[in-house]
């Protein structure tokens, strides 16, 4: 991904502020705010890694479990008609709705 970086299973956004001539971003997919910035791409990458390391160290110091970006569950809002069709299609296959959706997502993302 050209607008994301990955480090220790955390993902960071990549933005550029032309007026201030800096790169900036934040660790994505967690509630905690961990942001970073730098004037060069190399320093920006290091700033992102430092932000992740600082976040993990702060969690250790506070004896709290660090948030995981992807926990394996999410809510999906559907129109009632699509919800009905999905449940019925899952039932016809002998699947739970969860399994039906997981398999559809697996196919769609490979």
| Per-residue pLDDT at 98 | 94
Which element (helix H / strand E) includes 36?
Answer: strand 35-38
Burial of 12 (0-12, 13-18, 19+ CB in 10 A): buried
| Per-residue pLDDT at 1 | 64
Q: What is the pLDDT along the chain (110 residues), one digit of tens a residue?
A: 679 999 999 999 999 999 999 999 999 999 999 999 999 999 999 999 999 999 999 999 999 999 999 989 889 999 999 999 999 999 999 999 999 999 999 999 99
* Backbone dihedral angles phi then psi of residue 90, each to the nearest 5 degrees: -60, -45
Q: Does residue 28 contact residue 21 with C-beta atoms inside 8 Å?
A: no
The domain ranges of the chain are 4-62, 80-109
Among 47, 10, 17, 15, CA closest to 32? 10
Q: Does residue 23 contact residue 44 with C-beta atoms inside 8 Å?
A: yes
């Amino acid at each position: 991904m050209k607008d994301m970086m990955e480090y220790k299973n955390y993902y960071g956004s990549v933005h550029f502020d032309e007026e201030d001539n800096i790169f900036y971003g934040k660790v994505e997919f967690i509630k905690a705010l961990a942001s970073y910035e730098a004037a060069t791409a190399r320093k920006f990458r290091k700033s992102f890694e430092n932000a992740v390391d600082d976040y993990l160290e702060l969690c250790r110091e506070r004896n709290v479990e660090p948030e995981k970006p992807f926990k394996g569950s999410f809510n999906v809002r559907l129109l009632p008609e699509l919800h009905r069709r999905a449940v019925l299609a899952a039932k016809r296959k002998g699947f739970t709705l969860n399994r039906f959706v997981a398999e559809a997502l697996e196919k769609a993302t490979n």
